[in-house]
Structure 1
Amino acid sequence: MYIGDFKKLKGFATDLVSLRGLKSLYISQCPELEAFPEQALEGLNSLQHLTLQMCIKFSNLSEGLRHLSALGKLDA
């Protein structure tokens, strides 16, 4: 899944939980994005690759990482 070029996106709702089969998430050019709510990452246990690019305000992923049990690659 690609999410990009949302200049005013500040965060995600917990709706990401419903994407249980998602294997790759690429987020780019979202300069206002600050963090993922921990609850949003709980259902992403199939996620293998996460990329955050040009999200200059993003500051916190550490708490949610414990839910990403299949994550093999993180690019930030």
Structure 2
Amino acid sequence: MVDVNKLKGKIYEAGMTIPGLARRMNISPSTLYRKLERNGEGLLVKDVDKIISIVDISDDDITPIFFTQLVA
């Protein structure tokens, strides 16, 4: 699962918006929003790779953002 709130925080820290990131990923904003729904379950590995590269997410932040697991 993806910690979408942390991811959005990193996107905004990088001075971007979701629609701006989507354009840089060459997808529509609605597609990116849809991929982020349900804790990012719609994201593919190639999407994650693009996001990491475009937003310049550090190695230390990759695991807490993209490999979270909710524990009930």
Q: Same fold (TM over 0.5)?
A: no
Higher RCO (Cα < 8 Å, 6 or more apart): 2
Counting strand residues as a fraction of each chain, which structure ranks higher? 1
Counting helix residues as a fraction of each chain, which structure ranks higher? 2
Task: Provide the TM-score with structure 1 as the length reference.
Answer: 0.28
